[in-house]
Amino acid sequence: MARMTYREAVRAAMSAAMSADPRVFLMGEDVGRYGGAFAVSLGMLEEFGPERIRDTPLSESTFVGAGIGAALGGMRPIVEVMTINFSLLALDQVLNNAAALRHMSGGQFSVPLVVRMATGGGRGLAAQHSHSLEGWYAHIPGIKVLTPATVADARGLLLAALAEPDPVFVFEHAALYSLEGESEDGTPMEIGRAACRRAGRDVSLLTYGGSLGKCLAAAEQLAGEGVEAEVIDLRTLRPLDTGAIVESVSKTRHAVVVDEAWRTGSFAAEVSAVIMEQAFDELDAPVARVCSAEVPMPYAKHLEDAALPQPESIVNAARGLL
């Protein structure tokens, strides 16, 4: 057990993988000399050299595609796309190549690629730098989608991603990088397992990534009112641990899905549908969703706060079910 920040946990996982396996390398915008836009790779250029810590031009589509090609060629690339907003420029490579290559080649080629990027809002960055589009990625068969919400997961899930034979996308909520916590000894975690972050019997708060902290705060507040909320951290959006969702909802009979994405077509809608399909008879009330308001993210703080899920809105949604 070691105490570290979320960014240090990501760095620890990358450094460990690079030390253990010469095929692993990191490339992306400003990952080298700058040290990473979020200082995740700070110091890695000095440790591993410019061959393995590669600064790229602002060519998202091509450096993600080059990551795919390098994976085909026997390497284990980690591609850092600075933010999810920029990742849209590479979406074609993700959807049409990374995700499809194994299938459309009849199983001849695998793409052992890890793509990491920052996601999420809440930092005053307005409409073009505040997206939570990991649900879009989770729509795509052929890739895996991880959303670590804790320091331990930031390290353990990334290590697991680096051992996968297929493309894995890791979404790191930008508000979490300075979060401190305990990290375990650096063993890869199992992909596809949700975690119960707080046990409770009255209502399930189902969430992932940057909304976990808000759900835990909401659960604390609800506890003061005598409501015991269970907080389930999905951790992996694809493959989704539907068993854990069903198990929790079957126990509490009430579900609130919390997702920073826009409500329409959100990943929360997918979770809600899973509950309808697999646990309809267990419910005592309709599934509730707390998502972002349907608006391009505004800049002013009070408006941004109002647009995003907050502990208060989660508490209100839970109360509404009980």
Residues lying near another protein in the complex (CB under 8 A): 25, 51, 56-57, 59, 61-75, 77, 92-93, 96-97, 101-112, 141-142, 164-166
Name the amino acid, one letter, at 223. A
With beta carbons less than 8 A apart as the criterion, state whether 40 and 6 touch.
no
Active site (catalytic) residues: 60, 129
Secondary structure (3-state) at 316: helix
Secondary structure (3-state) at 112: coil
Cα gap 234→244, rounded to integer Å? 8
Q: Which is nearer to another protein, 180 or 190 (CB)?
A: 190
Q: Which is nearer to another protein, 59 or 128 (CB)?
A: 59
Q: From the CB of 152, what's the least distance to another protein, in Å?
A: 24
With beta carbons less than 8 A apart as the criterion, state whether 209 and 134 touch.
yes
Q: From the CB of 29, what's the least distance to another protein, in Å?
A: 12
Q: Which is nearer to another protein, 8 or 164 (CB)?
A: 164
**Burial call 11-46: b when 16+ CB within 10 Å, e when fewer:** bbbbbbbbeeeebbbbbbbbbbeebbbbebbeebbe
Q: Which is nearer to another protein, 108 or 264 (CB)?
A: 108
Q: From the CB of 110, what's the least distance to another protein, in Å?
A: 4
Cα gap 35→47, rounded to integer Å? 12
Q: How far is CA 40 from the centre of its chain?
A: 16
Q: From the CB of 48, what's the least distance to another protein, in Å?
A: 12
